Structure 1
Amino acid sequence: MLVTLALSATAMPAIGANVDQGRRLAGLYCARCHAIDKVSPSPLKIAPPFRTLHERYPVGMLEEALAEGIVTGHPSMPQFSFEPDQVGDFIAFLKSLESDKARP
Structure 2
Amino acid sequence: MAINNVNNNGVPKTPLDNSKINQQGQNQAAQQQAASKTAAAPAPRQDSVSLTQSAQQLNQVQKKGTEAPVNQEKVDKLKKAIQSGEYKVNPEVLANKIARLESEIFGVKS
Q: TM-score range by the shorter chain?
A: under 0.3
Q: What TM-score comes out, normalization by structure 2 length?
A: 0.21
Structure of higher RCO (CA pairs closer than 8 Å, 6+ residues apart): 1
Q: What TM-score comes out, normalization by structure 1 length?
A: 0.22
**Which of the two has greater helix per residue?**
2
